[in-house]
Structure 1
Amino acid sequence: MAFSPLVDELVESLRCLPGVGQKTAQRMAFHLLERGRSGGVRLAGALGNAMDGVRRCESCQNFSDTETCGICENPGRNNGTLCVVESPSDLLAIEQSGDYRGGYFVLMGHLSPIDGVGPEEIGVERLINRVVHQGVSEVILATNPTVEGEATAHYIADRLDGKDVLITRLAHGIPVGGELGYVDGFTLTHAFRGRKPLSE
């Protein structure tokens, strides 16, 4: 049974979210229309504002509504240490652990030639330029411990070879195949304290 075109469009639009199939999208749409109209209006406004106003930070590529994000502008951060992560959710997980006070570079993905994602798409050149021009002394490669994450870490390490910078990798403690966004703060803190050079 088909609903009105507006309802069908709402359901289809909700399916763009990760893990949301047809039935879940229908439940969400019906909830908003039956009991959550004020919440739906607020959600629509927030989505519109975010789509129009959120950009990438000029320095670290993290999401920001200003040219430079709050972390990069914070004078209390140690800019000599740069943590490279795959996504904003990974950055958030590390920040919530409360143990790291350096800078970040958010790749917004990992190398995946099969999907057409190469070094240009994740900003490797921008990362190298930042390391060279900002006097970074240590780069922590905190890509996820997946096949793609490991390949990305090794590629970046190869590109930084000879640049007079210490390259470290998060210690194990983060489960292989897991993602930083789902790891608890204690495990992240332990992994940071046990990091070691990638070449070992």
Structure 2
Amino acid sequence: MEFFVGIDQVQPEEACTPVKQFGQPWPDHVAQKYVLRLRLDEVLEVLSTPYEGLIRELREDEIHEPLEEMEGDPRRFRELGYPSIQKLWRANPAVLSEVIKVYLHGELFDAVLTARPELGGRPFYVVNSVDRVWVEPKRLCLMGDVYRRGQGCGYCAWAFNAQAVAGNDAEAGSEKPSTDVLGVNPGG
């Protein structure tokens, strides 16, 4: 796996995703672009089980709800015969890219970006969007926005405060931004 922020390669232990409000801008922060590249074996290890669950769910939902009304374009799965993730990689990489962008990016990030603020980890980067996903012959690539945790930034200090993350808001400080970034609800 390779993880780049701009042109710099960084370690996955230095990054996480927000628990809530993925895709929302961070006040007073400038987004940078990231590229995450994973080998086929890494993708299969991480996404085979979630993909199988997605296929089961789509088949069940097809009975109760027209696929045309669902997020993304799940009709493609039915048209392709609900293929395995390996077959999708080989035969329909554009569909696999859409699947990961729409349905499975959260599972992927949770598995490979290993900083855990909710467990006291202190990530340096927060991946906050998936703008593009593409498949190369032996790699899956994702690109999107990432924010760098600032030094002395009040928003970052709140968002990454271990006491607030643990739910002890009374001791975490009195001034908190209204944006819920890491799953910490400032209002209670």
Q: TM-score, normalised by structure 2?
A: 0.24
Report which of the two has the higher share of helix. Answer: 1
